């Protein structure tokens, strides 16, 4: 259940239902029935639930205690064993970093009116959609849903939308968008330059299906077909630009024009027009060449390998790093084919990685992205490395996929070395007859040796996260307080 989609009216209704149920349960002497209903509501929910008591000082909320949580709460928030603990103990920074959440909790607990909030919890690195209701004054129930994926997706969608608009507006190719009836909807900066129009948001009245110049030259039947049935048409035409005397060609431009229909459910929804000013094709070609060279220079300068294939799996381009990482030259790399050739590749368990599991193979066959797959590679010129491979389909012309190759051998070796050192330290400290631990500034245990288990009868993993006070109690804490 995505609580971010719950309406305010639904929360009010649910709040009333819970109040009735709490009242019924309070008069029910059947303890088993109460437990069963409680378990159904809290233990089996896919959403995180937290039942809490708000703590007030002079009617001002200052803290709250977790009275009960369900497994989904622990899964979503990462907070373990919260029952009976204050938020100031578990997440002391929440009150400061997310004052709106704390304020909503206080209002709901005081007024018994439901509320809803979405917030980023920095300490947990997630977005939560939180619906809050109150079964009785002074208490509240928070329903949590991890909405990180949705919010991030919305951000990416907005970025993609802005990116697309920027691409269109700043494209070196003159472009215009027409509605399904041929009326002009928008044009980019280059299109305004070509037609010598003011570079503002104003639009000149224009309908391609009513253009008498195009009709006189016999282009209209093909254009009408595009807007009626879809498809594309292309033609070359001379345009007399209004007030174009300042142009070098005396106000006339020769354009290579293409009109393409955008379809939805089998119907034309709009048309995209591209105008290529072939009167200055030489300058455009030079600018395009320089742009391509700059892009190639950037790609060749990065340390990550980048390669591109066509739809048949042939590698048609790559940077020097791609071959260097895998121990071959750029020329040797470009002779390879995704479907035909194999690398000396291994899974993370050092078994042979079959070609069918290569990210490039999967991306081409299934037309889906494979990102950051760790693969061991015996290099062409000797040696062994660990690589992070990604393969992403490219839906442009005859291009197939783009492959990125990152050498992560040092990262893996560093991680393995750390794990070995930590295991050695754990082994040594576990065999010492003294208590050895490491606590943070909040006096929470981050590491303890096995001697704690022998003395306190508690497993080390159950001590991690607890405070010294929680472990030894108040009586002994005053004597050993750091």
Helix axes 8-26, 31-42, angle to 10 degrees: 160
Q: What is the pLDDT of residue 391?
A: 93
| Residue pLDDT, tens place only, 23-51 | 665 555 555 666 666 666 666 677 888 99
| Helix ranges, 112-261 (H) | 148-169, 189-194, 212-216, 220-229
CA distance 234 to 223: 9
Phi, psi torsion values for 51, nearest 5 degrees: -100, 120
Phi, psi torsion values for 94, nearest 5 degrees: -60, -45
* End-to-end C-alpha distance for the chain, whole angstroms: 46
| Residue pLDDT, tens place only, 202-243 | 777 889 999 888 898 899 999 999 999 999 999 988 777 655
Long-range CB contacts for residues 63-71, cutoff 8 Å, separation at least 24: 63/87, 63/88, 63/95, 64/105, 64/109, 64/140, 66/90, 67/139, 68/42, 69/42, 70/42, 70/43, 70/44, 70/45, 71/43
Q: What is the pLDDT of residue 422?
A: 78
| Residue pLDDT, tens place only, 118-143 | 888 887 788 888 999 999 999 999 98
- Whether this prediction's pTM lies above 0.85 is answered by no
CA distance 435 to 168: 66
Q: What is the mean pLDDT of residues 2-12?
A: 55
Rg over alpha carbons for the chain, rounded to the nearest Å, is 33
Contact of 393 with 369, CB cutoff 8 Å: yes
For the cut 70, the answer to whether the pLDDT of residue 9 exceeds it is no
Quick count: other Cβ atoms within 10 Å of Cβ 256? 14
Domains and CATH numbers, the chain: 3-148 (3.30.450.20), 170-283 (3.30.450.20), 297-407 (3.30.450.20), 418-480 (3.30.450.20)
Quick count: other Cβ atoms within 10 Å of Cβ 103? 14
Q: What is the mean pLDDT of residues 50-76?
A: 90
For the cut 90, the answer to whether the pLDDT of residue 402 exceeds it is yes
- Average pLDDT across the chain, whole number: 83
Long-range CB contacts for residues 322-330, cutoff 8 Å, separation at least 24: 322/403, 322/405, 325/385, 325/387, 325/405, 325/406, 325/407, 326/377, 326/379, 326/380, 326/387, 326/405, 327/379, 327/380, 327/381, 327/382, 327/383, 328/379, 328/380, 328/381
Residue recorded with tokens 């990482």: 325
């Amino acid at each position: 259940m995505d609580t971010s989609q719950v309406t305010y009216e639904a929360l009010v209704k649910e709040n009333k239902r819970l109040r009735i149920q709490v009242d019924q349960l309070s008069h029910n002497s059947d303890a088993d029935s109460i437990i069963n209903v409680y378990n159904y509501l809290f233990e089996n929910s896919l959403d995180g639930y937290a039942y809490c008591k708000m703590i007030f000082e002079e009617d001002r909320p200052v803290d709250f205690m977790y009275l009960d949580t369900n497994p989904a709460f622990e899964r979503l928030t990462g907070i373990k064993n919260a029952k009976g603990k204050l938020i100031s103990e578990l997440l002391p920074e929440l009150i400061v970093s997310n004052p709106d959440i704390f304020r909503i909790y206080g209002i709901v607990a005081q007024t018994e009116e439901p509320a809803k909030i979405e917030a980023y919890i920095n300490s947990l690195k997630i977005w939560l959609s939180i619906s809050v209701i109150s079964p009785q004054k002074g208490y509240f129930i928070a329903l949590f849903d991890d909405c990180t994926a949705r919010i991030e997706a919305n951000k990416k969608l907005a970025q993609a939308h802005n990116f697309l608009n920027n691409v269109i507006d700043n494209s070196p190719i003159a472009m215009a968008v027409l509605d399904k009836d041929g009326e002009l909807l928008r044009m980019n900066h280059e299109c305004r330059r070509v037609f010598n129009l003011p570079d503002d948001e104003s639009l000149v009245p224009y309908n391609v299906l009513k253009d008498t110049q195009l009709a006189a030259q016999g282009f209209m039947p093909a254009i009408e077909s595009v807007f009626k049935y879809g498809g594309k048409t292309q033609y070359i035409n001379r345009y007399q630009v209004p007030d174009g005397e300042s142009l070098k060609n005396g106000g006339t431009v020769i354009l290579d024009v293409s009109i393409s229909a955008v379809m939805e459910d089998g119907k034309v929804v709009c048309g995209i027009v591209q105008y290529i000013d072939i009167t200055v094709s030489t300058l455009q070609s030079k600018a395009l060449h320089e742009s391509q060279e700059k892009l190639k220079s950037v790609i060749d300068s990065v340390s990550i390998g980048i390669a591109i294939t066509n739809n048949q799996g042939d590698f048609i381009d790559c940077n020097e790093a791609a071959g260097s990482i895998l121990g071959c030259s750029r020329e040797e790399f470009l002779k390879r084919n995704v479907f035909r050739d194999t690398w000396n590749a291994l899974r993370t368990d050092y078994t042979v990685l079959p070609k069918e599991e290569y990210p490039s193979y999967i991306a081409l066959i299934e037309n889906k992205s494979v990102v950051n797959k760790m693969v061991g590679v015996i290099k062409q010129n000797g040696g062994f490395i660990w690589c992070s491979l990604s393969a992403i389909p490219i839906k442009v012309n005859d291009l197939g996929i783009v492959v990125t190759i990152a050498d992560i051998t040092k990262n893996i070796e560093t991680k393995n070395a750390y794990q070995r050192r930590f295991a050695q330290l754990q082994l040594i400290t576990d065999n010492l007859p003294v208590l050895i631990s490491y606590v943070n500034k909040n006096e929470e245990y981050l590491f303890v040796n096995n001697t704690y288990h022998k003395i306190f009868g508690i497993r080390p993993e159950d001590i991690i996260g607890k405070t010294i006070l929680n472990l030894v109690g108040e009586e002994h804490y005053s004597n050993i307080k750091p």
